[in-house]
Amino acid sequence: MDQISKAAEIIVSANTVIALTGAGISVESGIPAFRGSQGLWEKYDPMEYAHIESFRRNPQKVWGMLAELYKIVMKAQPNPAHYALAELEKLGKCQAVITQNVDALHQKAGNERIIEFHGTGETLTCMACGKKYEAKNIDFDNPPPLCTCGGILKPDIVFFGEPIPSDALHQSFLLAESADAVIVVGTSAQVYPAASIPETAKSRGAKVIEVNLEPTPLTGRISDVFCQGKASQILPAIVNKVKEKLFGAKY
């Protein structure tokens, strides 16, 4: 049995399936990954541009990078991998998506239960008075964006040096402990605590399906199935196999 068929078999047999997604799922939507040869951290030192202390110390500098990223993210649309996970949810075969991404592409694709592990870029908060703003109403041509009180706005994303939102952390590990299967898509599995989600699920007996361009620390150690290639091709193929197994050969 090939890897895609094995993955579909695991999903169909499972009562509770969750997905963990990272930057790799959004690369084909035109959003750069953070790690790797073309990653954002090759261009920008993460400790210099993505640490909360760097933002507090020199928000103008950090906003130079953020504005560039926002202009890309605001135009991005879901790709077939996002739509495949939304379809799995509609089939009752994906109970939640835990995403490390802040691009809201899972929402745009139609998933409804989404845990944003690293926050969201859809809203920003004034560092001075706490007023909230929607990103769609912000002008990113002249960073940093300012509040009406004059304070600097910070995206509601988790910077290095900031804690994971407690509710997201709690929900994610509750799901990991109860899942029968975890689909890991487009993550390097190097950033903790997110990387420990599949490890936690595996320790409770779950099967782990990995979809990545390259092997990761999960491959061959945690993953039961490794589908190597583009998520935009592999996930729709898995969903088609799932439908075939659920509804018959016409799919």
Q: How many residues comprise the chain?
A: 251
Cβ atoms 91, 117 nearer than 8 A: no
- 3-class SS shares of the chain: helix, strand, coil, % to 5: 40, 20, 40
Angle at the Cα of 111 (from 105 to 116), degrees rounded to 5? Answer: 60
Known catalytic residue: 118?
Answer: yes
The single-letter code of the amino acid at 238 is I
Question: In 83-185, where do the E strands start and end?
Answer: 96-99, 114-116, 119-126, 132-134, 153-157, 181-185
Q: Which of 51, 82, 106, 118 is catalytic?
A: 118
Cβ atoms 56, 160 nearer than 8 A: no
Match 């029968």 to its residue by tokens: 180
Tell me the HSE value of 88 on the side-chain side, using a 13 A CA sphere: 34
Closest CA to 172 of 199, 197, 205, 189: 197
Q: What positions carry a catalytic annotation?
A: 118
